[in-house]
């Protein structure tokens, strides 16, 4: 575990803090011809070698650095728009190589795998993971069904209103429920109050009537957001309390 954390720290520093924007831009434009791709790879090797401080065995850091460079090259070759999917895939590949390097260094593949299986099979882990997943998409669908009549009413009031970012409400709701789930598990109920207070900062522009949106729409949209938020919070708290009972 120590080796993994050291290599993870090295990865975070090199990939996110010690990689200037001009390096990233140059790599995207020139691909494998970019000198910064090789500078970045060399920096990964050096920092990983220092982090592991196994001075007589530089091979793990060298192999990890080469793997890092290959992964980066694949990403910049196929990711044309800087998509979230490629970002996640890129970081997952880096984490996999870091984990594999750490496991090889400690020579504990069977032990580590068995420990992971044992940890997964505990009621505490199963209840926590199931509760977290339940509070995300399933609750989103439930709240969406419950609030559908008000969405339809709002669409009738202002059919051409375009005052929402695509899927923003869904992602905000899932983020809030996940935070609430964690707060309940760690008995930080006061933090939920802070989250509610932060959500209350949401305001609709009173001048929206200048754009032709009826005043009734603004008032009812505020009520719709409030109802949806309270439903979402209630579900998240209920799921978290149930998970605590099953742990």
Q: How far apart are CA 239 and CA 138, in angstroms?
A: 11
Taking the CA atoms of the chain, what radius of gyration do you get in angstroms?
24
Mark which of 103, 120, 137 sits at the end of a domain: 120
- Considering the domain architecture, whether residues 108 and 171 belong to the same structural domain is answered as no
> What per-residue confidence (pLDDT) applies to 208?
47
- Could you give the C-alpha distances from 164 to 138, 140, 161, in angstroms and in order? 22, 17, 9
- 57 and 102, same domain (yes or no): yes
Share of the chain above pLDDT 70, in %: 86
Last residue of a domain, one of 120, 149, 170: 120
Extract the runs of DSSP E, i.e. beta strands, from 24-99: none
Question: Does residue 72 surpass a pLDDT of 80?
Answer: yes
pLDDT of residue 137: 84
- Three-state DSSP class for 10? helix
What are the tens digits of pLDDT across the range 74-103? 999 888 787 888 899 999 999 999 999 888
> Do 158 and 112 reside in the same domain of the chain?
no
pTM: 0.64
Q: Are 51 and 102 in contact (CB under 8 A)?
A: no
Q: What pLDDT score does 96 carry?
A: 93
In the chain, how many domains are there?
A: 2
Q: Which domain holds residue 17?
A: 2-120
Residue 166 is predicted with a pLDDT of 60
pLDDT of 202 over the 50 cut:
yes
Query: Which of 120, 155, 178 lies at the terminal end of a domain, its last residue?
Result: 120
Report residue 66's pLDDT band, with 50, 70 and 90 as the boundaries: very high
* Average pLDDT of the segment spanning 112-134: 81
Q: Average pLDDT in the 116-127 region? A: 81
Do 153 and 229 lie in a common domain?
Answer: yes
Burial 27-62 (b: 16+ CB within 10 A, else e): beeeeeebebbeebbebbbebbbebbeeeeeeebbb
pLDDT in tens, 159-196: 666 656 667 778 888 899 999 999 999 999 888 888 88
- The confidence score (pLDDT) of residue 211 equals 56
Tokens of 191: 């933090």
Whether the per-residue pLDDT at 206 is higher than 50: the answer is no
């Amino acid at each position: 575990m120590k080796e993994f954390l050291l290599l993870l720290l090295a990865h975070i520093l090199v990939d996110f803090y010690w990689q200037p924007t001009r390096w990233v831009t140059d790599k995207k434009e020139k691909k494998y011809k970019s000198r910064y791709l090789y500078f970045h790879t060399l920096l990964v090797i050096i920092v990983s070698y220092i982090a592991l401080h196994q001075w007589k065995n530089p091979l793990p850091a060298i192999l990890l650095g080469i793997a890092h460079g290959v992964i980066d090259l694949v990403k910049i070759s196929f990711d044309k728009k800087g998509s979230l999917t490629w970002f996640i895939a890129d970081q997952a590949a880096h984490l996999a190589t870091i984990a594999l390097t750490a496991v090889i260094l400690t020579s504990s593949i069977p032990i580590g795998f068995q420990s992971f299986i044992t940890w997964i099979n505990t009621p505490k882990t199963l209840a926590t993971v199931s509760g977290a997943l339940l509070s995300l998409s399933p609750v989103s669908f439930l709240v969406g069904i419950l609030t559908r009549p008000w969405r339809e009413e709002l669409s009738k009031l202002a059919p051409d209103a375009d005052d929402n970012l695509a899927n923003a409400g869904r992602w905000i709701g899932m983020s809030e429920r996940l935070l609430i789930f964690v707060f309940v598990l760690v008995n930080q109920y006061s933090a939920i109050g802070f989250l509610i207070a932060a959500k209350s900062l949401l305001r609709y522009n009173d001048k929206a009537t200048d754009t032709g949106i009826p005043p009734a729409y603004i008032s009812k949209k505020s009520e719709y957001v409030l109802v949806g938020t309270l439903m979402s919070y209630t579900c998240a708290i209920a799921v978290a309390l149930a998970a605590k009972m099953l742990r």
